[in-house]
Amino acid sequence: MYSQACERVLDTLESALKIANDAIGAHKMATTKSIDPEALLLTTLGEEEYSATGAAIEYLRGPLGPTPSAFLEGVRHGSAAINSSSNYGEPGFQGHIYH
């Protein structure tokens, strides 16, 4: 079961690579036009997708280890980061993608 989950992670990472490349292009475009890249991402994705993207990024920033227990610890770390972060437009918001 864990190996099947790992296979799904790899499939998802492949999809995320395409999105990451798109995000890099959007960031470059935003900076050349003096647009806030987070605002551009929010308006491009919509609120629900932007929120999901931000949550996924917080999990990816965490120490997702190679063992089941280390992976769970990384998920706890990501959840704590999500629960403690401000939302877009609120004081203290640092951005989901570009901070």
Of 21-25, 48-52, 65-69, minimum mean pLDDT range: 21-25
Measured distance CA(92)–CA(76) in Å, rounded: 22
Contacting residues for 57 by C-beta, under 8 A, at least 6 apart: 96, 97
**Mean pLDDT score of the chain:** 82
Residue 88: the pLDDT is 67
Of 13-17, 40-44, 58-62, 90-94, minimum mean pLDDT range: 90-94
- pTM above the 0.85 mark? no
